[in-house]
Amino acid sequence: MNERESLMKQIHVRLGPLALLLTVIVICMTVLGLLALTTARGDLSMARRYAEAVDTRYSLEAKGQAFLWETAKDPGALNQLERDKNGTFWRILSENGMSLRIGLAGKGRGFRVVSWQFTQESWEPKEDIGGLWNGG
């Protein structure tokens, strides 16, 4: 037994480097997990904004089609619209910062669509952000 006891005393297990390595691995995995969570939240936010924009665009498209249908049933309604110097009648539909600009040209007793254009209102910051350079 004396030999065995002396052999056990000679074997030293060093946990210092192993504990340090495991600590670094845990910190790295935690940081990577937080980055993945932050990225997923950003992607979700962007997907929701895109869905709102597509919903608004399709809503304006449906309203524009309904306007064309009503105008086709009563071509005399064209005279109630704004008219430019070229004789084009214009109707602008807006919703949630997006607009649909429809241009119609009179054609005999009917009309034809000469413009069907979506535009997005330009974004302007509502306030100054702590003295940061505004690019101007």
Q: Could you read off the pLDDT of 96-128 as tens digits, one per residue?
A: 889 999 999 877 777 889 999 999 887 666 666
3-state SS, one letter per residue, for the chain: CHHHHHHHHHCCCCCHHHHHHHHHHHHHHHHHHHHHHHHHHHHHHHHHHHHHHHHHHHHHHHHHHHHHHHHHHCHHHHHHCEECCCCEEEEEEEECCEEEEEEEEEECCEEEEEEEEEEECCCCCCCCCCCCCCCC
Q: By percentage, how much of the chain surpasses pLDDT 70?
A: 81
Rounded to two decimals, the pTM is 0.65
Residue 24, domain member (yes or no)? yes
Per DSSP bridges, beta strands 110-120 and 88-95 are unpaired
Looking at residue 98, what is its pLDDT? 92
Count: domains in the chain? 1
Residue 105, domain member (yes or no)? yes
Q: Please give the residue range of the domain that contains residue 25.
A: 2-120
Residue 134, domain member (yes or no)? no
Residue 86, domain member (yes or no)? yes
